[in-house]
């Protein structure tokens, strides 16, 4: 039996097939390139079909389970056949300012659904423009993709549901969400990894997949990266260094602060506390390609602090460790030496990470004791040493750094991957 995980990130999608022992059997990627707003859903759907159909026939015929992850807070308004009625609103879309203010007046204090980039804020923004009959379903990205595979619509996982307003005490939609957005428009929350349905017969035939293959409820891309790292001890954390900088800390207690972009996810008997900064690899890509990053990093002494103090955002707006939609990037002064410039960027990103973990502890989370690193930035050993100097705890590259591997583990283990509730 084989288990397929598919990760939908900001810039592309990646598949990973593992066997019952966790060994990787196959991997593949699809790059989204630069997408216009109206192209997003079509490209995602095409990547899903292509990644599944391009697996070798012996693997497809033996697929037992599938799970997907997607970017947290990316929302689609759909009809009952899952046809989008409006271009998807991405995780960092910050147009719903008025809607977020309304949610903040009604929601439980400190709930992440009150953020301007939350899934619930996007639902209200979309409803205002589409009208009551414009869409029947409002789904997170991974909900939509899983529905395309299984044909079973209207389900979401606890992780993606958090930014739509999920009450983590009851694991249900609270009354204020019912008041703000008619509950008929919201998917039913289930545990990440829960069995949804087998791949629909038409899709199984089209893709050449085992028709008994089970589709599981998914998770967010950053939590999938956390799962891939295999972290199990409270105080251990995973930093995902992709287009953005995402921190996840396994904690005995939750931490919440809308003003800082801090929230905690369900993780069985424990919590996954963290936040996501808009800073990250996207800023580095504005100036350097992979070859340049590798060459320039070799010229940096990670033991010496850079005197440069940047705000390394790709555009105005920050989510964590300060939630400020107006925060402006600061990428000057730029030294003539590109290695010095890169040193300043890496140091500034590491400061955000250190500030983030410090903030989580201040808000009551278990203090960080060790950091595993996932994402493309995990390959940069110099950056890791800079981060370790600023964090003051061991920093290592996770054995498995790709979110797709975590999604494959979720497909294999289902809800058993989390601590039992109780």
pLDDT for 93 = 92
Q: According to the 3-state scheme, what is the secondary structure of 323-390? A: CECCCCCECCCCCCCHHHHHHHHHHHHHHHHHHHHHHHHHCCCCCCCEEEEECHHHHCHHHHHHHHHH
In this structure, are residues 267 and 234 in contact, taking their beta carbons and an 8 Å threshold? no
How many CA atoms, within 13 angstroms, populate the side-chain half-sphere of residue 298?
Answer: 5
| Distance (Å, whole) CA 125 – CA 71 | 19
3-class secondary-structure state, position 411: helix
| Angle, CA of 150, 152 and 153, to the nearest 5° | 125
Extract the tokens encoding 241: 């260094």
Identify the pLDDT of residue 350: 97
Give, for 229, the enclosing helix (H) or strand (E).
Answer: helix 221-229
Q: What is the pLDDT along the chain (422 residues), one digit of tens a residue?
A: 999 999 998 889 999 999 999 999 999 999 998 888 889 999 999 999 999 999 999 999 999 999 999 999 999 999 989 999 999 999 989 999 999 999 999 998 888 899 889 999 999 999 998 876 778 899 999 999 999 999 998 899 999 999 999 999 999 999 999 889 875 678 899 999 999 999 999 999 999 999 999 999 999 998 998 999 999 899 999 998 888 899 999 999 999 887 898 989 999 999 999 998 999 999 999 999 999 999 999 999 999 999 999 999 999 999 899 988 899 999 999 999 999 999 999 999 999 999 999 999 999 999 999 999 988 898 999 999 999 999 999 999 998 988 999 999 999 999 999 864 43
Task: Please state, as a whole number, how many other Cβ atoms lie within 10 Å of the Cβ of residue 291.
Answer: 8
Query: What is the residue whose two structure tokens read 């009354």?
Result: 175
Quote the pTM value.
0.87
Task: Please provide residue 96's backbone torsions phi and psi, each rounded to the nearest 5 degrees.
Answer: -85, 55
**In the numeric block, which tokens belong to residue 230?**
């295999």
State the burial class of residue 26 (Cβ atoms within 10 Å of its Cβ: 0-12, 13-18, 19+).
Answer: middle
Cα(354)–Cα(356) distance, rounded to whole angstroms? 5
């Amino acid at each position: 039996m084989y288990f397929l995980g598919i990760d939908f990130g900001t810039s592309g999608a990646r598949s990973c097939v593992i066997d019952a022992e966790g060994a990787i059997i196959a991997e593949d990627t699809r790059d989204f390139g630069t997408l216009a707003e109206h192209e997003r859903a079509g490209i995602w759907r095409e990547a899903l079909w292509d990644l599944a159909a391009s697996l070798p026939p012996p693997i497809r015929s033996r697929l037992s389970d599938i799970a997907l992850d997607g970017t947290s807070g990316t929302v689609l308004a759909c009809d009952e056949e899952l046809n989008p009625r409006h271009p998807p609103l991405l995780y960092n879309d910050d147009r719903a300012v008025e809607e977020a203010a309304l949610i903040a007046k009604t929601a439980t204090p400190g709930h992440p659904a009150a953020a301007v980039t939350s899934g619930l804020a996007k639902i209200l923004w979309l409803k205002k423009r589409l009208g009551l009959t414009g869409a029947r379903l409002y789904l997170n990205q991974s909900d939509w993709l899983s529905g395309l595979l299984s044909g079973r619509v209207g389900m979401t996982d606890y992780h993606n549901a958090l930014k739509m307003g999920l009450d983590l005490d009851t694991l249900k939609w609270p009354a204020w969400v019912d008041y703000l957005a008619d509950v008929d428009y919201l998917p039913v929350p289930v545990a990440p990894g829960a069995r949804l349905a087998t791949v629909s017969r038409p899709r199984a035939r089209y893709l050449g997949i085992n028709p008994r293959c089970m589709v599981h409820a998914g998770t967010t891309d950053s939590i999938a990266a956390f799962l891939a790292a295999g972290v199990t001890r409270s105080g251990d954390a995973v930093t995902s260094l992709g287009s953005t900088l995402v921190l996840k800390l396994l904690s005995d207690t939750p931490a919440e602060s809308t003003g800082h972009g801090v929230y905690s996810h369900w993780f069985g008997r424990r919590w996954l506390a963290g936040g996501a900064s808009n800073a990250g690899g996207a800023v580095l890509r504005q100036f350097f390609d992979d070859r340049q990053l590798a060459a320039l990093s070799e010229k940096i002494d990670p033991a010496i602090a850079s005197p440069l103090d940047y705000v390394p955002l790709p555009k105005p707006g920050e989510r964590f460790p300060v939630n400020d939609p107006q925060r402006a990037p600061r990428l000057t002064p730029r030294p003539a030496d590109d290695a010095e410039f890169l040193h300043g960027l890496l140091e500034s990103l590491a400061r955000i990470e250190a500030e983030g973990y410090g903030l989580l502890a201040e808000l009551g989370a278990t203090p960080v004791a060790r950091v595993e690193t996932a994402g493309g930035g995990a390959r940069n050993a110099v950056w890791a040493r800079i981060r370790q100097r600023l964090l003051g705890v061991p920093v290592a590259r996770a054995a498995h750094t790709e979110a797709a591997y975590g999604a494959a583990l979720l497909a294999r283990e289902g809800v058993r991957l989390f601590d039992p509730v109780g």
